[in-house]
Structure 1
Amino acid sequence: MAQHGGTGLGPDGRDGRASEAERLLRAVLAADAGNEDAWLRLGGLALSDGRCRMAARCFARVMLLAPHRAQAMHNLAEALRVAGRKRQAAIAYTRALRLRPDYPKALAAFGLMLKEGGSGRDARRLVARSLVADPAYSAGWRNLGALVQERNQPDVVARLLRRAALSAPDDAATLAAYGVALCEVKDTGLALAALRRAAALAPDATSVQGNLAFGLMHAGDTEGSLRATRRLRRLDPMAPEADAQESLTWMMKGDFERAAGFVKRALALAPGHAGTLVNAALAFHSLGGAQGSVRWNKRALRLDAASPVARFNLSLALLQKGDFARGWALYEARWAMWGSAFPRHAPAWDGSPLNGRSILLVAEQGHGDTLHFVRYAELLAAQGGRVVLLVQPLLKRLLRNTPGVTAVYGFGEEPPACDVCAPMLSVPRLVGTRLETIPANIPYLRAEEGDGRAWRDRLAGERRLKVGLVWAGEPRKDDVKANSVDRRRSLTLSALAPLAAIPGVAFYSLQIGEAGAQAGAPPPGMALTDWTGDIRDFADTAAFIEQLDLVVTVDTSVCHLAGGLGKPVWVLSRFDACWRWLGHREDSPWYPTMRLFHQDEPGAWDAPIARLTSQLKEYAAVRDSQP
């Protein structure tokens, strides 16, 4: 335990000042056993030290001496709550509020205890009453934020904790909670300012250091996060949150072996912590252990059955194993985990026969997910549905040609009134897709004839094997997890230098975004043409791909585009492969024309690139030998 001031520790191991205060209070009570203030202070000291039974006895004595004192009854309730005697605590809170109905501390504390018992609505009502009684009551705003947090409304939580921080600008715990809430709404600048101020106010507070480490990780400063975690460990070598946070940070850095080591330490220190079990599942899943991930997530759910993160992560592990029956159902936990509302533009479709009804399919997540799952439009049309799409604007023109689609609208446009609607990635569950019933009627994507003619004319004179290249994904710098995945799946063009030595191949850049600039300086000997300046949207990219012989890409939207077009597509996949590739399979039931080249270990691209180079050399030689 750290020393405070110059008093050191007393012989009982407690702060010397607290020991001296208790000695004086006991002396006062020896002389005057009816001194209610002395009993109240002695109970407060005992409660702060975790001696709940002694605290309860002191506060009960106050109530005998002064039954009108709401403060003493509230303190008694707190002691009983901390001791785990929730039923008696509820009685004491109720009596405190009879004595003083507008008592903010009692209202807020009673509300939090009710929340722990599952009475969320009553809890929020009580905490809201504490703020009506005292709008400047910082703990009330914090408690209300904690209650709203379980409803996955991060914007609301951040606003509530801002009020708490304004009411208590020098309270480190409140500032730290506010900083974490700002991380969740991706306001990293303000978040770090709040967290650093909290750490300056309470440099010895382990929880604050843990929050700072979390905030630095969210801001992408993984080295800063590791430094903060190590400070936390120096303050308390037995703090499980230090190991849990360090595990998360190493996962963001892509070092899953280290992450697994630290999460094991965290579990040894706190084996019953659901969040740490979820972290363990993530680490072992990333190391290729889908079965282990299932086991850890199930353990987390036994501790916290409502955890949307555990349910969602379990769904990914099950889907990767091909257990679609259970996986699709659990995948619905994404709405609660992301704190976003189910996209309701019409009544939710329940999977019943459409029989002429119109259905609005709403895109979600990335462009690749939309390209992957838009295949279900044809299946729904075959069931008698009139299918309308609401998708990302860059996909609008391409998806007009999708079989079964009646109309396509872009985000920001008002779609027509439909009978029912469904998020696109919920459709597999609603139609009961299993591994053996994946709809793979390829191609289901096609370019417009006019666009295709223009690209065909450009490439008419090329007799070599025409190969499109994509070497990087799309970074999302405001999303630490997505950005971490993007770093792990992305390459530089120079990493594909071995392809340059293959004779009879002409390469074409399909790389959009910042990484596309690398096409201006290809590896020596690589014949690379860059016409991406003429690509406006995915319809243009599709028309270009249709004129190529093969696409080589990392795991990004272009692999779904090429697969949906029915073009041969070879995918370089990171070690912790996306669930849809079903582990490290080399083929995909989603795309019959796809081949997958996985890393053999995290971060190691040389081996899959070498395998791809060898097979491309054979592919080009066979084609060259054909008349």
Structure 2
Amino acid sequence: MHTDSQQAYLDANHHMAAGDFAAAEDCYLQALALQSWHAAARANLGFLKEQQGANAEAEFHYRQAIALMPDHAQLHQNLGALMLKEKRFAEAELAMRTTIELEPESPSAWSQLGVLMVCTHREAEGEACYRQALALDPQHARAQFNLSYLLLRQARFEEGWRMLEARWQFDQFPLSFDCSFWEGEPLDGKSIVLGLEAGHGDMIHFCRYVPQLKARGAARVDVVCHPGLVRLLATLPGVDQLHALGETLPAAWDYWTRPMRLPCLFHTAMSTIPAGVPYLHAEPDLVARWREVLPQGGLRVGLAWRGNVNFENDADRSLPSLMALAPLAAANGVDFVSLQKGPGEEEALMPPSGMPLHAVGPQLADFAETAAVIANLDLVISVDTAVAHLAGALGKPCWLLLPDYRCDWRWMAGRGDTPWYPSMRLFRQPHGGGWAPVIADVASALLSLGSSAAPYPRSAPGQ
């Protein structure tokens, strides 16, 4: 191997480790210019381009590297993961099965193949792959986590909750407190704090367990949450104090845990899901103020069409734009209210033709404000984002639009309702995806609702 080429390759690896992708790319290209058959440089350049989101370039470099090292299992695995990301399922499966042929004892390869199987609705095969990975390595965190999503989607809760514990091994938002991690010990006279879940919707979903902590005898239950949730979660029965993320916290608790661990610690089964709603409430003064602002007379329907762009499956769960909801405008006597915040919020200023849409997004300072708006609505129509969780927690009728590809586990499989939120109705994409059939079904349902003599009742102030 040429010394200069190898030195450029080593320099590139150094820059890559330091996060300087531009310098790393220059050095990898230099190494390849000096020695075009430098397979490791080609492979690492493919990985670099994938991290940058340049998938076509990444694929090119991976395939070039595979031509030089056809028996390199990790290269085939990387290519398979990239093809899955691109939804090129047949090519992904070929690459993943080649990986297993080359390295049949690799738990990560079996786990990755399981993901592909589940994503393409071959769940029995996917489960077999996950279990093969765990037979090879019973502590393989990614395989446990992947299996948990499959089990929970199928309402196989007992094992599913246990497997979900693996998620903390690669948590992107680590938290720790100067107290013991709660594992279900008696709480009589003790204090406990719930740490942060990354998603606002997750916090809204799982805060419902706070009253159960009090029922276990906890003398004090505090919650650490996003600043935008503080006022809202203050309405939750059983909460003693809210702490916004980033503020100085007292070191005064006996235990701490995460909200999403509570279903496991309380041995939640389908029959014991705490589904009493509302468990969150809008502030009466805010409800009264918004009653004067929102349109009067017609059916009031809130809309939320996009979620957080940083969520791993956002491209599938979010609508491409507000225009996708244009068929809803055919419903007469409906006043739409935009609940959209962040990405897509400005689209409410230019709604589809014939859609009367009130853009209140800029006035929604936090989720307490959003709750007050929702309390004045008849219905919320939302993609799988925090607004839907909020509507469900408030007991407000909510029509939830769900993707076919990698739909979240909590909505389970094949259901038009959810035991987590009794007021929610689920509208699912058909196999293969596509929002048009979903929106058509929602538009038809909205037409029927708008023409009915008894639309959904609005909430009374503070309810």
TM over 0.5: yes
The secondary structure found in structure 1 opposite 2:281 is coil
CA distance in 2, matches of 1:445, 1:526: 30
Report if aligned partners of 2:301, 2:381 keep a CA contact under 8 Å in 1: yes
Equivalent residue for 1:211? 44
Q: Does the alignment pair 1:377 with 2:210?
A: yes
Q: 1:173–1:327: structure 2 CA closer, same or farther, 3 Å change rule?
A: farther
- The one of 507, 513, 519 equivalent to 2:336 is 507
Q: Show the 5 A alignment for 1:487-502.
A: 487-491=315-319, 492-502=321-331
Amino acid in structure 2 at the alignment position of 1:504:
G
CA distances 1:198-242 after superposition (whole Å, capped 9, x unpaired)? 353254233433332233222222222222222223334454434
**1: CA distance, partners of 2:87 / 2:339:** 26
User: Out of 13, 26, 33, which is 1:176 matched to?
Assistant: 13
1:604 maps to what in 2?
A: 434
Question: Does residue 468 in structure 1 map to residue 302 in structure 2?
Answer: yes
> Could you say if the C-alpha distance between residues 533 and 284 of structure 1 is closer, same or farther in structure 2, counting changes exceeding 3 Å?
same
For the aligned residue pairs, the C-alpha RMSD in angstroms reads: 2.5
For residues 130-141 of structure 1, what are the structure 2 equivalents within 5 Å?
none
1:353-381 per-residue CA deviation (whole Å, 9 max, x = no partner) reads: 31121110112221111011000111111
Q: Aligned equivalents of 2:216 and 2:387: distance in 1?
A: 29
* Cα separation, 1, equivalents of 2:88 and 2:434: 12
CA distances 1:533-590 after superposition (whole Å, capped 9, x unpaired): 1110111111111111111111111111111111111111111210111123211111
**Which of these residues, 434, 448, 459, is aligned with residue 618 of structure 1?**
448
Q: Does 1:553 align with 2:382?
A: yes
Which one has more relative contact order, counting CA pairs under 8 Å at least 6 apart? 2
Is the deviation greater in 539-548 or in 319-328?
A: 319-328
Q: Does structure 1 retain, via aligned residues, the 8 Å contact 2:8–2:27? A: no
Select the residue among 199, 219, 226 that pairs with 1:392: 226
Residues in 2 aligned to 1:626 and 1:253: alpha-carbon distance in whole angstroms:
41
- Distance in structure 2 (CA, Å) of the matches to 1:592 and 1:229: 48
Cα gap change, 1:303 to 1:439, in 2 (>3 Å): same
Q: Tell me, what secondary structure is at the counterpart of 1:389?
A: strand
Q: Equivalent residue for 1:434?
A: 269
Listed as ranges, the gaps of 5+ residues in structure 2 are 458-463
Counterparts of 1:232-247 in structure 2 under 5 Å? 232-247=65-80
Q: Kindly indicate whether the alpha-carbon contact (under 8 Å) linking 2:113 and 2:129 is maintained by their aligned counterparts in 1.
A: yes
- Number of the residue aligned with 1:581: 411
Asked if the contact 2:195/2:259 (under 8 Å) is kept, the reply is yes
- After TM superposition, list the pairs within 5 Å mapping 1:189-208 onto structure 2: 190-191=20-21, 193-202=23-32, 203-208=36-41
- Describe the SS at the equivalent of 1:333: helix
Question: Which runs of structure 2 are paired with 1:481-492 in the superposition (5 Å)?
Answer: 482-483=311-312, 485-491=313-319, 492=321
Displacement of 1:305 in angstroms is: 2.9
1:294 aligns with 2:127: yes
Cα–Cα, structure 1 residues 472 and 256, in superposed 2: closer, same or farther, change >3 Å?
Answer: farther
Structure 1 623/210 Cα, relative in aligned 2: closer, same or farther at 3 Å? Answer: farther
* Residue equivalent to 1:96: none
Number of aligned residue pairs:
448
Judged with a 3 Å threshold, the aligned counterparts in structure 2 of structure 1 residues 345 and 371 are, in CA distance, closer, same or farther, namely: farther
State the TM-score, normalized to the length of structure 1: 0.67
Q: Please list the CA deviations of residues 232-269 of structure 1 after superposition, one character each: whole Å capped at 9, or x if unmatched.
A: 23334454434322322233234445433432343344
Pick from 539, 552, 569 the counterpart of residue 368 of structure 2: 539
Query: What is the CA–CA distance in structure 1 between the aligned matches of 2:456 and 2:77, rounded to whole Å?
Result: 58
Residue type of the partner of 2:280? L
Choose which of 347, 350, 361 in structure 2 pairs with 1:518: 347
AA paired with 1:618?
S
Corresponding letter in the other structure for 1:526: M
What TM-score, normalized by structure 2, do the two folds share?
0.90
Give me the whole-angstrom Cα distance separating, in 1, the residues matched to 2:271 and 2:70: 51
Separation in structure 2 between the aligned mates of residue 342 and residue 531 of structure 1, nearest angstrom? 34
Give the drift of 1:442. 0.8
**What is residue 458 of structure 1 aligned with on the other side?**
293
Matched ranges for 1:37-186 at <5 A: 170=7, 172=9, 175-176=12-13, 179=16, 181=17
Contact kept in structure 2, 1:519 and 1:528, CA below 8 Å = yes
Q: Matches of 2:52 and 2:233 in 1, distance apart?
A: 36
Offset at residue 503 of structure 1 (A): 1.5
Relative to its length, the structure with more helix (as a share) is 1
Question: Percent identity of the aligned residues?
Answer: 35
Match of 2:184 in 1: 351
Match of 1:222 in 2: 55
DSSP 3-state at the match of 2:257: strand
Distance in 1, Cα, partners of 2:14 & 2:436: 44
8 A Cα contact 2:11 2:24, kept in partner: no
The residue identity in structure 2 corresponding to 1:579 is: W
How has the CA–CA distance of structure 1 residues 265 and 327 changed in structure 2, closer, same or farther, with 3 Å as cutoff? same
Unaligned runs of 5+ in 1: 6-167, 477-481
